[in-house]
Amino acid sequence: MIFKKLLDMKKILVTGKRYWIPAIGWFLFLGFFNNCVLAPYLDIKTVEWSHLLTALAVMLSISGARDIGLKKQPDDKTTKVDGKVGSLGKRYWIVAIGWALAMGYFNNCMIYPYFDIDPVEWPQLLTGLGVMLGISGTRDIFLNRNKMIAEKVAEAVNETTEDTETEDTESTDEDKK
């Protein structure tokens, strides 16, 4: 039983060689969660904002460029083990960071004016929002553009195929005469 578990672990580490990418994303989420949700209420250290934001920009831009280069759709799941999608999900950490930023805005706009808490730093929230929307939006635009081009090419190929079939049918009819 233990041997089988070790073999399964080896299979995940070998076949799931890109699991470290979402792991980094989840660690970044924990940093944003700490800074936007916990730090305003508790007397705890914040994670250095500049490092968090730079790492987020790098993660989103590199993964987005990779998706565009591979012409994958945003909902395409490429991290698979034995044909199943990994349980962490390839992109759930991006959504989690978005929600952590949303909670930071909630703290600043709804809680801070009425209660004695430390606000989340506005420049950092704005930069995080800009990174999330800017890079993710650009990635989605390129992916949608590639999808539209592929659909137009498929339509042109279908029209050409239909025209060729019609010509073949007409030439066969003339041969019979």
**What confidence category does residue 70 fall into, taking pLDDT thresholds of 50, 70 and 90?**
low
> Tens digit of pLDDT for each residue in 85-98?
455 556 678 888 88
Burial class (CB in 10 A: 0-12, 13-18, 19+), 52: buried
Residue 161 lies in a domain: no
- On whether residue 94 sits in a domain, the answer given is yes
Mean pLDDT within 40-61: 87
The total number of structural domains in the chain stands at 1
Is the whole-model pTM more than 0.75? no
Q: Tell me what percent of the residues of the chain surpass a pLDDT of 70.
A: 62
Mean pLDDT of 54-80: 64
- Quote the domain boundaries for residue 60: 2-146
Q: Is residue 113 part of a domain?
A: yes
